[in-house]
Chains A and B, each alone.
Chain A
Amino acid sequence: MGSRVKLQNYYRSIGLPLLVTWVAAKLLVGEPVQGATLKIGTVFPLSGQQSTYGEESANGVELALEELKSKDPKLAAQIVVVKEDEKSNPVDAGNAVKKLLSVDKVDLVLGSVASSNTLSMVAPVLEAGKILVSHASTNPEVTKKGDAIFRTCFIDPFQGTVLANFALKNLNKKSAAILLDHKSDYSKGLAQYFEAAFVAGGGKIVAKEAYEADNKEFRTQLTKIRSTKPEVLLIPGYYQDVGMIMKQAKQMGFKVVMLGGDGWDSPALFDLAGPAVVDHYFSSHFSVDDTDPAVQTFVKAYTTRYKKAPGAMAALAYDTVFVVADAFKRAGDNSSAALKKAMSSVKGYKGITGTISINKDRDAEKDAVVLKTQANKAVFSAKVSPTSP
């Protein structure tokens, strides 16, 4: 018994003061203060249908942060990133962003890819008075929702116009059909702007069909489209469905030039469509063939690190981290007002996806590239600038 009492006494005499000192030290000293820190929450589709986009985006962010560390170690030390998964659906995107805002208390949210999912993240961000920067959601509605929503990619009216003019002028085609994904805002928006520009340029839309994203059988839609004999077929969808459509068109013996947007831009398209993939065109944000040394450095760094070539999502996420970091540096503060002001005044930032300037609608104005598909990769075909699309 006696020894036990002594032991208790020992704890009381040594342990308690030690604990108190430790807590006091923790409270007094705290973290080393180095000015404001910027806490970025990223929301990407890390699992689910669009997981290759999420993976590329996350890699792009990671690579950019490492590069920032060697370029500007002081700034890099002030940036913290928390990752969340939106599982490729709008509901989980909303939940993920609510978690980032209330639990992690992030200052700025970065993401996501599909416009439908980004749209579901807008309301919580605005309600919390924080900032949302999307690197890849091209539907125009996204930034119209509030003055704290920015994006660093071009928008679908521009992309649709680029594709329509490319079909009219470069390919010299006058009739087009559209096959769109009716569960996606991105797809519907792109189709709408393509149609407007194509008709304005003297072309004719001969057929308009829709599909549901989880369906894999497209023969009936393709049958209807074939009977109208279009010269080009616009498929403003994501690569998984596009791959199936190309494959089935080839199996049916239906030969037509297909056009698409940045939703095609994934190495998986070439795998899924197999030999049916060749000689179609899509618009995107950057090309790995670009001879610009900055692009080539990025492609090399990405390829050595992740053992595969970067897609557009990686490049966009990479650029966006630098744009945000630069805005934070200029703002010198992590308050929403300062960040908002700094983000609005981004002018002529030279990134690997073109020169980024944020306009009054908080969208980025920059070049698009049109790529041509070949057996296992897409090659550069044309570059279109925002002033003369």
Chain B
Amino acid sequence: MLDFFLALGPTLSNTMWLVGIYIILALGLNLINGMGGMFSIGHAGFWALGAYAAGLCITKNPLGLPDFALFPSGLILAVVVTALAGWALAKACLGLSGDYLAIATLGFSIIIVSLLYNFDYVGAATGMSAPTMVTSLGIWGFVVLSLLFYGRIQFSNRGRMILALREDEIAAQSIGIDATKSKTLVFILGAALAGVAGALYAGSANYLNPAGFEFHQSIKILTMVVLGGLGTLTGVTLAAAGLTLLPELLRLLNFKEYEMLVFALVLLVMVLGRPQGIFGPKELWDLRFIRKHWHPDRNYKALVQSQGISQNPTPPQNHKGV
């Protein structure tokens, strides 16, 4: 037991980079699944695309850039490539209803992984070794940026339009919201966030292999989003952190044989017992002592005064999902 506590510190500091990357991934998927109400189960495909785009930029350096410019250019390339892929997939598949869209995204991710295995230029089964380009601290900088980015969308006009679409597409369209445009936008943004996560992964994992982006990774990210509560910011962030640390802690406890079993059970119990996520639709700032002083929605105070709900604000009752 003492060994466990002694190893806890190094393990935590050792996994912080991965925690950051999964938080960004989960936020990206949360944009698509939680906010947009579209069911994607192929998020690892975008992740892989971003990671390999950045990885190629870093290791092959086709433009002969100086060292300090390698990672930024890789990051930009990753975001551009994933955003384009997101746009193309949205163009082809957004007309599909929930389940069919899920299968199309699954297909997309499987195609990406299969292509990575087939192209010798990206290392095929050998994968790619890349030097460390970003520190754990750098990754957490991007986590903060992503959180701000997500919050910015959530409380923007466009964000509210997207939420309205999720609640009732027909009603929202009848008041003039362009469904296709809004959905495409949110899909692209979600994909681009996965691209950011991919670039960070390429710059810190030292090693890229197609095996690291297979279907179960998409499932893992989906689990984080569902566990945290679809469409919530703080819930999903905490769930992503928790689910990334859990396997490492289980590893310390010599529990590894049961790791996936525990994972599946946690997911099942959560979905059955508390499908709305750990904190339900509430965010951290819905806690009374926080919302008294600060709320990310600039209109919150005005809203409270006009509706007189300051004592007990109703959280958005909107979890209709797909």
Contact = CB atoms under 8 A, between A and B. Distances in A.
Interface of A: 47, 85, 89-91, 94, 98-99, 102-104, 116, 119-120, 122-124, 127, 141, 145, 182-185, 188, 212
29 contacts: A47-B256, A47-B257, A90-B209, A90-B211, A90-B212, A91-B211, A94-B205, A94-B207, A99-B11, A102-B11, A102-B14, A103-B11, A103-B14, A116-B125, A116-B127, A119-B126, A119-B127, A119-B129, A120-B209, A122-B129, A123-B129, A123-B206, A127-B206, A141-B126, A182-B125, A183-B125, A185-B126, A188-B124, A188-B125
Interface string B211-228: 110000000000000000
B279 interface: no
The list of the 7 closest CB pairs from A to B, nearest first, reads A123-B206, A91-B212, A90-B209, A103-B10, A102-B14, A120-B207, A183-B125
Interface string B242-278: 0000001001100011000000000000000000000
B231 to A, nearest CB: 30
Question: Which one of B13, B132, B211 has the highest number of Cβ atoms from chain A below 10 Å of its Cβ?
Answer: B211
Nearest to B248: A99
A98 B132 CA distance: 14
Contacts of B126: 116, 119, 141, 185
A183 B118 CA distance: 9
Instruction: Assign chain B's interface to a size class.
Output: 20 to 34
Question: Which one of A103, A124, A182, A183 has the highest number of Cβ atoms from chain B below 10 Å of its Cβ?
Answer: A103
A99 B124 CA distance: 26
Contacts of B210: 183
Question: Which one of B11, B118, B256 has the highest number of Cβ atoms from chain A below 10 Å of its Cβ?
Answer: B256
Interface in B113-172: 117-118, 124-127, 129, 132
Nearest to B126: A185
A89 B11 CA distance: 21
B96 interface: no
Contacts of B257: 47
A103 B5 CA distance: 11
Main DSSP-derived SS at the B contact region: helix
Contacts of B212: 90-91
A11 B206 CA distance: 53
A29 B7 CA distance: 23
Interface in B270-296: none
A11 B114 CA distance: 67
Contact of A184 (B11, B125, B132, B248): B125
B126 to A, nearest CB: 5
Given A182-B125, A185-B125, A188-B125, A124 B211 contact: no
Contacts of A182: 117-118, 124-125
Contacts of A104: 7
Nearest to B9: A103
A103 B212 CA distance: 23
Contacts of B118: 182
Nearest to B212: A91
A94 B129 CA distance: 11
A367 B212 CA distance: 36
B14 A99 contact: yes
Contacts of A99: 11, 14, 248, 251
A91 B209 CA distance: 7
A127 B207 CA distance: 12
A192 B14 CA distance: 39
Contacts of A212: 117
Contacts of A94: 205-207
Interface string B173-213: 00000000000000000000000000000000111011110
Contacts of A91: 209, 211-212
A156 to B, nearest CB: 13
A127 B132 contact: yes
A271 to B, nearest CB: 23
Nearest to A94: B207
A122 B127 CA distance: 13
Contacts of A124: 206
A99 to B, nearest CB: 7
Question: Which one of A89, A99, A122, A184 has the highest number of Cβ atoms from chain B below 10 Å of its Cβ?
Answer: A99
B146 to A, nearest CB: 23
Question: Which one of A119, A124, A141, A184 has the highest number of Cβ atoms from chain B below 10 Å of its Cβ?
Answer: A119
A90 B207 contact: yes
Nearest to A188: B125
A250 B292 CA distance: 76
Contacts of A183: 117, 125, 210-211
B17 to A, nearest CB: 10
Contact of B209 (A98, A116, A122, A145): A116
A99 B13 CA distance: 11
A221 to B, nearest CB: 16
A234 B251 CA distance: 39
Nearest to B11: A103
Contacts of A119: 126-127, 129, 207
Given A116-B126, A182-B118, 11 more contacts: A90-B207, A94-B205, A94-B206, A102-B11, A103-B7, A103-B10, A120-B207, A123-B129, A127-B206, A141-B126, A182-B124
A330 B34 CA distance: 61
A188 B120 CA distance: 11
A344 to B, nearest CB: 23
A97 to B, nearest CB: 10
A89 B256 CA distance: 15
Nearest to B10: A103
A178 to B, nearest CB: 16
A98 B207 contact: no
A94 B128 CA distance: 13
B216 to A, nearest CB: 10
Nearest to B18: A95
A360 B184 CA distance: 58
B16 to A, nearest CB: 12
Contacts of A122: 129
A47 B251 CA distance: 13
Given A90-B127, A183-B117, A123 B207 contact: yes
Contact of A98 (B14, B129, B252): B14
A148 to B, nearest CB: 15
Question: Which one of B14, B207, B210 has the highest number of Cβ atoms from chain A below 10 Å of its Cβ?
Answer: B207
A31 to B, nearest CB: 14
A83 to B, nearest CB: 9
